Amino acid sequence: MEDSIKPVGNPPRGWHMKNEYIDDDGNVFNKGDFLYNKEEQLLKKQVSKLRKQITELKIDKDFKLKTWDYNKSLNEYLELTKYIDEQIESLNKELRLIRPYETQNIPDGGEVMTLNEFKNSVKNGGFVDSDGYGLYVETSYEGTKEDPIEILKMTDVPIFPSDIKEKLLRYKLNKVVWFNK
């Protein structure tokens, strides 16, 4: 239990005596003790569901490959699995938007820019999917309010120029690091 998390908003009198109290941010408390954040729990369930769907589609595709009649053409196989591949790609895009991520220091050779700068470069033809790859960057601050120090960490969440056109963006991560091929 995390005692340091206090309810957000104006909790009613006696909230700390209730078996379950949910504050304005979706934090769930039991008798005043923080249990979990409801939104984070829902995201975990959604991530799990998407990963399960992707796994099931991959198993289906593997089964089709194992039972494939090799007297047929490659084009027939590709046509048979095209729909599955499109579904997997769509689910992976959705998963990229919500899954948890790991961070690490940004290596040399990457160009860091704001998400808006990246979007404008893509719209002006500066980046296409085949040029290289991008990863979202997490921004945090240390120091004082008067003299903040920006800390940038690269995530393991890819961003592609085609994501801009499809409006598939993680807006909470407002910077991108781009690596040319």
pTM for the predicted model, two decimal places: 0.68
Mean pLDDT, residues 70-97 taken together? 90
3-class secondary-structure state, position 54: helix
Task: Report pLDDT digits (tens) over 103-162.
Answer: 999 999 999 999 999 999 999 999 999 999 999 999 988 888 888 899 999 999 999 999
Mean pLDDT, residues 27-33 taken together? 80
pLDDT of 1 strictly over 60:
no
Report pLDDT for 4.
66
Task: Report pLDDT digits (tens) over 34-52.
Answer: 776 777 777 788 889 999 9
Phi, psi for 168 (deg, rounded to 5): -105, 85
Rg (CA), the chain: 22
What does the mean pLDDT of the chain come to? Answer: 88
